[in-house]
């Protein structure tokens, strides 16, 4: 079955460490997205990519980095510059053409700073 796989489900980061969250999809979707979810703030866009080897900053990109070397993969690195990284992170994908489609979401990664 096609879908989006995020790993790991839970991740713990020490102060000053970089960590990478994985997102893989086999839906043949062109566009992929990373959102951060905090209580009471909905989902906020971190980065998105519409095609391979290209990506754009979202609303809260500071302290994060991404790459899009393959269509299927869009990993997110949370760097030590991100001062408050504890949150729930959701990856999503969609087809590229204008259409009344929403996203397909992964099951999320819960990141905690220890």
Partner 1 sequence: AQTVTQSQPEMSVQEAETVTLSCTYDTSESDYYLFWYKQPPSRQMILVIRQEAYKQQNATENRFSVNFQKAAKSFSLKISDSQLGDAAMYFCAYRRGETSGSRLTFGEGTQLTVNP
Nearest distance, CB of residue 43 and partner 1, angstroms: 4
Nearest distance, CB of residue 65 and partner 1, angstroms: 18
Burial class (CB in 10 A: 0-12, 13-18, 19+), 45: middle
Cis ω before 89 (30° cut-off from 0):
no
Nearest to partner 1 of 55, 82 (CB atom): 55
Contact in structure between 106 and 56 (CB atoms under 8 Å): no
The contact set with partner 1 (CB under 8 A) reads 30-31, 33, 35, 40-45, 48, 50, 58, 88, 90, 92, 94, 96-98, 100-103, 105, 107-108
Nearest distance, CB of residue 111 and partner 1, angstroms: 13
């Amino acid at each position: 079955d096609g879908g989006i796989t995020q790993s790991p489900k839970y991740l713990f980061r020490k102060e000053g460490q970089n960590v990478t969250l994985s997102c893989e999809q086999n839906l043949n979707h062109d566009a992929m997205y990373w959102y951060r979810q905090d209580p009471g703030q909905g989902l906020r866009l971190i980065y998105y990519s519409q095609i391979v080897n290209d990506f754009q900053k979202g609303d809260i990109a500071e302290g994060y980095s991404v790459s899009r070397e393959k269509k299927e993969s869009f990993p997110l690195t949370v760097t030590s510059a991100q001062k408050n990284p504890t949150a729930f992170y959701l990856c999503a994908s969609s087809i590229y053409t204008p259409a009344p489609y929403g996203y397909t979401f992964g099951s999320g990664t819960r990141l905690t700073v220890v």
